[in-house]
Structure 1
């Protein structure tokens, strides 16, 4: 996520009613059987009428990142200090995308801007998307560096964000916590930033293994899933802007604290990311852009 407040509390009178958001205490250890790779894990019968959306579907089986779909860094942001995003920390191997955090000095131009000691990684989609179901299978890094799957777009008249997860996989008290947050930085109707966040406490350390994380984003509602189980939902009151998809790792000194030298390098690995659109919502696709 972009570098503003980390508190999960409301900060604006423009914020919608937090009580409308619901968290679910479900036993995610109960497996949901996957009978088809064609549909979201939470909807194997495809009751939602999901159709594969290729621009944001990637199994990461190639020899290199598909630059038609992804930037090998975030072209609009150099990272959360002190760590700087470096494309050299992004690689594909064994059918997975790997984002690595290291203890190393960034190049001089970045040091002059205040980056130091650490490097990290980011990939950002070249295109934007409005509504859909988005699922990744990933393993968080086991350090104080963050592992994140999120959507955002910062425009002059509108800036919104959906954080599917942020995980501090090696940070004490955070290892089992799945942080899910929605932000509005500004819109024509909202002039002050607010955020609404939730936490799901998993029964295991999230860096121990790969898990399936899902976002169902419609005009009416936003839903978050872990291993096919619905863990959080709320009304979609503000998130109607086409957004870029992102995976990244950041230093979070005021939240997870800085990584320990003995824990680095550490790697956030993504086995796949899959995307679907509803067959009955073709109008949403017309609003998407690429750059």
Structure 2
């Protein structure tokens, strides 16, 4: 079945995109802090390889928002097929009045929203998506949480937008939303007197020369803590953001829901989509290839999830940050290394002198995920000054030299 969806995805890629650089866009989380490991969070990860939305993870509608008029969120516009989550914008056959609170609001465009059933807190979240070629949105964001403010009579609500874009330019102020990546963080604050303000962090933007609907792109956000986030666009270097902190120094401190939304934006900032493009199936649909959420755990904490293995997330390997290091003569070598593994593996470290004689070999368990650590390599005697080689082998648990998955070498200069 997996092979079938792989073939379908490749076929659709040929039809939808030209094989350019963004097909090779980097995915996966950034390097974790020392002593930590990224593991996939199944509640916010989906490859969309079935034939319907996974109801254990997602709602096919927004539970508290009908949509920004004139775009109404409708479950009929949500589909999982051919290995993609597809959100489709269309023109309604007739105008529709919807009662929202005490008001009746007119809608005449069909939009879509998919919302996680669980809330997420800190972690790394990314998606691979091709925007619809209209002025309706293609988004990847979180909101929720909040509660009482620091004064007790005030309150706040959180919103974290990893990516918001549209799929074509036009003669309107917000045409820049048609390309690149646009990341925002909102601190929705209601004062004790009832006045509500949208306090925003400085926007983070990545520029691109092509519209977002021309190809698939990878958009990622690392919700680092209550006060900051980092953003990742394809293969570019990350950019960083400090959340608005004039009310409290921990403005983003509560869990939020993940949201994948296809909506209309307010005119005249962005023009409404035309009837012609909404009727064109080659333009009116957003394609989410996958979404993935990662959480940080301790390097020694086991993980029962098999997702990394199922989707073959990583090119499995052991990495040294630099080709060589200098250390003082000792019986203990502090070796900085990282690794990526789709399932539990073992790392074999073999210390050799430059006569290619083995000094010592050790083996330790490497739990599945992307880890960053400093390994304390202990030798039986104090090393003599000179040049050494540390050879790393990544192997299956219990594997031998015939089953090596990756080899890497670090040169070590031992000083007196």
* TM surpasses 0.5: yes
Give matches, 1:8-87, under 5 Å.
Answer: 39-40=28-29, 42-43=30-31, 49-87=37-75
- 32 and 91 in structure 1: CA distance in 2 versus 1, 3 angstrom threshold: closer
1:195 matched to which residue of 2? 200
CA change 1:199–1:78 in 2 (3 A) is same
Change (3 A) 1:240 1:270: same
**SS, match of residue 61 in structure 2:** coil
CA distance in 1, matches of 2:92, 2:25: 42
Task: Compare 55-64 and 246-255 and name the one that shifted more.
Answer: 246-255
Provide the residue aligned with 2:92 in structure 1.
104
| Cα contact 2:22–2:215 (8 A) shared by 1 | no
Give the aligned partner of residue 82 of structure 2: 94
1:113 offset after TM fit, Å?
2.5
Which structure has more strand as a fraction of its residues?
A: 2
Q: In the alignment, does 2:275 pair up with 1:261?
A: yes
**Which 4+ residue blocks in structure 1 deviate beyond 4 angstroms?**
29-34, 42-48, 105-109, 187-191
Gaps (5+ residues) in structure 2?
A: 1-20, 149-155, 244-249, 300-416
Match status 1:246 vs 2:262: no
- Deviation, 1:152, is 0.2
Give the TM-score normalised by structure 2. Answer: 0.55
Residue 215 (1) aligns with residue 221 (2)? yes
Structure with more contact order per residue of length (Cα contacts < 8 Å, sep ≥ 6): 1
Residue by residue over 1:148-202, the C-alpha shift from the partner in whole angstroms, topping out at 9 and shown as x without a partner, is 1100005553311111111011232332242211100028999732112233221
If you compute each CA radius of gyration, which structure gives the higher value, 1 or 2? 2
CA apart distance, 1:78: 0.3
8 Å CA contact retained: 1:138, 1:270: yes
Q: Deviations over 1:77-125 (max 9, x none)?
A: 0000111000000001111000111111578552782132211000010
Contact 1:106 1:118 in 2 (8 A): no
Matched with 2:130 is 139
CA shift in 2, pair 1:87/1:46, >3 Å: farther
- 1:20-50 Cα shifts (integer Å, max 9, x gaps): xxxxxxxxx698776xx8x43x449999620
Query: What CA distance in whole angstroms lies between the structure 1 residues aligned with 2:23 and 2:73?
Result: 36
How many angstroms apart in 2 are the aligned matches of 1:108 and 1:259?
17
Q: In the alignment, is the contact (CA less than 8 A) between 2:32 and 2:38 conserved in 1?
A: no
Residue in 2 that maps onto 1:183: 186
Q: 1:113 to 1:195 in 2, by over 3 A?
A: same
Tell me, yes or no, if the aligned pair for 1:83 and 1:251 is still in contact at 8 Å. yes
Q: 1:93 to 1:267 in 2, by over 3 A?
A: same
Deviations 1:229-258 (A, max 9, x none): 234212355212100000001111332211
For the Cα contact (< 8 Å) 1:144–1:257, is it kept in 2? yes
TM-score between both structures, scaled by the size of structure 1? 0.77
Structure-2 change in CA distance of 1:195 and 1:105 (3 Å) = farther
Q: 1:222 to 1:48 in 2, by over 3 A?
A: farther
Deviation at 1:206, TM superposition (A): 1.1
Residues of 2 paired with 1:156 and 1:139: CA distance? 35
Shift of the 60–106 alpha-carbon distance from structure 1 to 2, 3 Å rule, reads farther
Partner of 1:160: 158
Q: Gaps (5+ residues) in structure 1? A: 1-28, 282-291
Question: Equivalents in 1 of 2:189, 2:298: separation in Å?
Answer: 30
Question: Could you say what the CA RMSD is over the residues aligned between the two structures, in angstroms?
Answer: 3.1
Q: Could you tell me how far apart the structure 2 residues matched to 1:33 and 1:271 are? A: 13
Higher mean C-alpha displacement, 122-131 vs 184-193: 184-193
Over 3 Å counting, the alpha-carbon distance change for 1:205 and 1:43 in structure 2 is: farther
